[in-house]
Amino acid sequence: MLTRKQHELICFIQDRLSESGVSPSFEEMKEALELKSKSGVHRLISALEERGYLRRLPNRARALEVLKAPERPDAKRTPAPAPSRRAAPEPANDVIEIPLHGRIAAGVPIEAFEGSTSLPVPAALLGAGEHFALEVAGDSMVEAGILDGDYALIRRQEVARDGEIVVALIEDSEATLKYFRREGAMIRLDPANRSYDPQRYAPAQVRVQGKLAGILRRYD
């Protein structure tokens, strides 16, 4: 499902291509969606590419191709060149709801993904791809600036490079947040706290669930 801004942008691009055959410029897209900077447009386009709605054509300036038409409330309505400028302005810092899968240990592994609700996250904290959040429990990642009670924002992926902070699922039952490293034939999960020891597992025991994309912290 697309966010409101993603839906507005793909509709705007499709309408402009239907009218003139030329993609709108980044400046036109920024103004149409009432964003403060072109970086917001880049993020939206990347997200639409990731979801298979849009493709950038190589070696051509301002060349975008709509691969999948967005759903519209009224398919018979006349395409408009841009969302109405009279509508109440939306915050430039879009908020996205991502799944919140309970608590994850930053110390000793605990049972993975207890429950599932959602967490509102500023879109600026996320890049392309599918994301979920986990509440951090424990202090073994404090030297990486990850504290007990923080929300770890995780980009879902199944591979990792040495030195990346990942969510590792151990023996399909316990999850932990650690630095990922290969050590010979073993996988080593390193804490960021000198009080904790590294954890070593056979590769078959560990499945990478995602890579840390950011941290969200609440101050009460």
What local confidence, expressed as pLDDT, does residue 58 receive?
A: 60
Calculate the alpha carbon distances from 10 to 22, 23, 32, 216 in Å: 14, 11, 12, 29
What local confidence, expressed as pLDDT, does residue 178 receive?
A: 94
Beta carbons of 132 and 99 less than 8 angstroms apart: yes
Which positions are annotated as active-site residues?
Answer: 140, 178
d(CA 134, CA 107): 14
Beta carbons of 159 and 206 less than 8 angstroms apart: no
What local confidence, expressed as pLDDT, does residue 75 receive?
A: 46
φ/ψ (deg, to 5) at 205: -90, -15
Residue-level pLDDT, tens digit, the chain, 220 residues: 678 888 888 888 888 877 777 778 878 888 888 888 777 888 888 888 888 888 876 645 457 888 887 776 654 444 444 444 444 444 444 678 888 887 887 655 544 555 568 888 877 777 788 898 888 988 989 999 999 999 999 999 999 999 999 999 888 878 899 999 999 999 999 999 999 999 999 999 999 999 999 998 877 6
Structure tokens at 189: 């999960």
d(CA 57, CA 64): 6
Structure tokens at 141: 């990642």
Structure tokens at 49: 């590419």
What local confidence, expressed as pLDDT, does residue 166 receive?
A: 95
Residue type, 102: G
What local confidence, expressed as pLDDT, does residue 97 receive?
A: 85
Are β-strands 199-201 and 206-216 bridged in parallel, bridged antiparallel, or unpaired? unpaired
Question: What domains are there in the chain, each with its CATH number?
Answer: 4-66 (1.10.10.10), 96-216 (2.10.109.10)
d(CA 38, CA 28): 10
What local confidence, expressed as pLDDT, does residue 203 receive?
A: 94
Q: How far apart are the first and last CA of the chain?
A: 32
What local confidence, expressed as pLDDT, does residue 56 receive?
A: 76
